[in-house]
Amino acid sequence: MALTASFTDTNAAPALSSSGANTDLTTVGGATSAGLQLLKTVDRATAAPGDAIVYIINYANRSSAALADLRVYDTTPAYTVFSSAACGTTPASLGTCSVNTAPAAGATGAIEWRYTRTLASGASGTVTFTVIVQ
């Protein structure tokens, strides 16, 4: 899913507008031996100031071996403030998930999720975070 954003300020003279789009897919490893694959999606196509947006990061082990010391990092997007973060679905092989780092509610900054064990080959899960549009 592509993430798109647009902005129109009709109170400006002349009116100002801008838009952009992005698909956020990250694969760690080579094209034929990829290990960790991350796919970030968002729960809504449009949002206005004050609206909550939920980001979902899907992670998957595409390699034939287990991945150890899994940590997922992200940050609050521009023009948003942090609301909450959660561990989503966690495969049994990963053990316990914790939100290790997160900004205070209403602030901006880095978010980190940590796991206590290994991500088995073929296993996948999700983490989520919610921001408020400024």
Residue 55 exposed, middle or buried by CB count within 10 Å (0-12, 13-18, 19+): buried
Q: Does 3 fall in a domain? A: no
Q: Does 65 fall in a domain? A: yes
Q: Does 19 fall in a domain? A: no
| pTM (two decimals) | 0.77
Q: Does 29 fall in a domain? A: yes
Q: What residue type is assigned to position 44 of the chain?
A: R
Number of domains in the chain: 1
What sign for the dihedral angle of Cα 95, 101, 39, 3? positive
Summarised one tens digit per residue, pLDDT across range 15-32 is 666 555 555 555 555 544
Of 41, 35, 45, 39, the closest CA to residue 4 belongs to 45
Summarised one tens digit per residue, pLDDT across range 67-91 is 988 999 999 999 999 999 999 999 9
Q: Does 115 fall in a domain? A: yes
CATH code, domain with 74: 2.60.40.290
Q: Does 16 fall in a domain? A: no
In terms of residue numbers, what domain contains 87?
25-133
Q: Does 102 fall in a domain? A: yes
Q: What residue type is assigned to position 99 of the chain?
A: V
